[in-house]
Structure 1
């Protein structure tokens, strides 16, 4: 059984008192972990995970007054690589917006759930590290996906599997991000370098360098899907420039160093722990102010990265790794060699 650690259990016990439902969409307005219970045909889900079955279930949780709320939901598996590498699949949860009114899930419809890939303390830390990476980008920009930590009790509606308690987290949905920021989702497979907001794009690139993540693309979606690989593009209605690329899916970052994470064979690195700047030269005119932003937000970034409740050993490892990044960006020679000289494409623009 997945075990809920005591520190997280205490946080969850206090979450009801600390989070109300006053906001129009309250789910991501609160930072305390949320305890939920999902009842569905678990054996069917696990046996058919790679076929993405859509299963009926119920979601149970306590509202701000401590009263039980039960919602009808549909649950399916999602993802590509994680379905191949993980023993427990990542999930997608769909709720009825009408039924969810005046609850913690008001304004929600479809939510991604990041689950623990495999059993054991190591994989629990991996999940918490990825949660912390999302929080770190939140600390840098409002143009980011918000997350909410969970304790999920999985119950088999057929009564054929024991209950599992698992730490997980929700990711803010694309429609909710668009509504929160007042932006539309850009739905096209490829975009031009000139179409992204240069200032935000440079922050995006340097952030990926900080966490040593190379599993992303800024200008093209996977296959025929919308741009971009492990990112979503938003823009103001009726515009084709100043678009914003919001990153997600960080499980292959070197900061985490998951066993299944390997760099693309076409890249000049042999370990995901090796940092490689894959940013575009077009955006380097904003590098100085980007570095200033990272320096100004260093305490918030380090606090956020460790926000998921990782072990002391992981905190020490992550702190040292982030310190190496700050050594690079604040040393002119290292900055020139590892970032400026490594950029892709043409000359920079301010």
Structure 2
């Protein structure tokens, strides 16, 4: 597998630590891929994903062995008919005080969905989406790519596939000097930071993702859907921070479908969902992304294990977006004219 062949040679190619990694915990202070082993009852975990049961396991990485508890999480990818193995929540009962996982208590781990090598390409493109948003703002979730070997309790390796950890919201807030505000189930548009809401909406348009809301979440779960709200202490304006991009057109997962209320044929079709209230800030966000085009395309080419075919497909998918934001006039005519009123 290409990811496995490339991993060994990446240590000498790690780029300078980006601004979004400053003051990050050790796990998210670098973009160098990890090699880890998770040992535990993997078959039982995959077979029992409906409840909240936690399964004792061991995480091994760079000479460290850390006891952890694993439990299935997510919605779509948690379903057996969608994925052969679910995304995981990883709890560290004893918070490490040293080493790579120092300070971690709870982590989201994006795992392989299906065993076929081709499915890893969707995961790598989702990881790339996190990295792209890191280029746009430090107010973004960091992600750490890993080559994960899953082993049964006897230590027998079952499968090795790429995956990635997602920074916890608490650590994101701590790193950026923000706090997590208390909100109701639905927040008014006027309570959002216009600049940050516009940037998020334009980014989601870039990757063609419609599976989000920066104002509300699923019934009974509060705000928000595939986003977290942060706030600068003593200042108005909630900062929405997106995550979970597997339903985007950039990733193009085989199970992804557009929301039923949006009449488009597939997730590869872009549909702008930014608010007209934020059009001035959205115009500025498009200009910001325009200046990052070279960095974004270079980043895509640097994702370990991304196949030449996947890279060509991703580049071709982004080409129409670059044309739409080529000038302020094209942004107004081709994107902002479709804003949400």
Please, what TM-score do these two structures have when normalized by structure 1?
0.88
CA contact (8 A) 1:28 1:147 kept: yes
- Alpha carbons 2:145, 2:164 under 8 Å: kept: yes
Distance across 2 between alignment mates of 1:194 and 1:336: 22
Label 1:324 to 1:277 Cα distance change in 2 as closer, same or farther (>3 A).
same
Partner of 1:35: 35
Asked if the contact 2:287/2:325 (under 8 Å) is kept, the reply is: no
CA displacement 1:137-189 (0-9 Å, x = unmatched): 00000010000000111111156x75221210000001111111122213332
Query: Could you tell me how far apart the structure 1 residues matched to 2:239 and 2:231 are?
Result: 6
Closer, same or farther in 2 for the Cα pair 1:162/1:13, shift >3 Å? Answer: farther
Whole-angstrom CA distance in 2 between matches of 1:244 and 1:306: 30
For 1:192, which of 169, 182, 188 is the aligned residue?
188
- Cα deviation, residue 296, structure 1: 1.3
2:165 & 2:113 partners in 1: Cα distance?
Answer: 15
Deviations 1:312-350 (A, max 9, x none): 1111111122121010112566534432221112xxxxx
Q: Give the equivalent residue in structure 2 for 1:65.
A: none
Q: CA RMSD in A?
A: 2.3
Name the CA shift for 1:296/1:123 in 2 (closer, same or farther; >3 Å): same
Alignment of 1:45-84 (within 5 A): 45-62=45-62, 68-84=63-79
Find the aligned partners of 2:293 and 2:117 in 1 and give their Cα distance: 28
Whether the 8 Å CA contact 1:186–1:235 is kept in 2: the answer is yes
1:187-336 equivalence runs, <5 A: 187-188=182-183, 189-239=185-235, 241-309=236-304, 310-330=306-326, 334-336=330-332
User: What is the deviation of 1:14?
Assistant: 8.8
- Separation in 2, partners of 1:24, 1:318: 29
Structure 2: runs of 5+ lacking an equivalent: none
Q: Secondary structure of the residue that 1:50 maps to in structure 2?
A: coil
For the structure 1 residues 305 and 97, does the alpha-carbon distance in structure 2 shift closer, same or farther, using more than 3 Å as the test?
A: farther
Following superposition, the deviation at residue 126 of structure 1 comes to 0.3
Matched, 1:89 2:86: yes
Aligned to 2:141: 145
- TM-score where L is the length of structure 2: 0.90
Encode CA deviations 1:185-208: one digit per residue, 9 max, x unaligned: 133321111111111111111111
For residues 234 and 253 of structure 1, what CA distance do their matches in structure 2 show? 23
- The answer on whether the counterparts of 2:4 and 2:147 sit within 8 Å (CA) in structure 1 is no
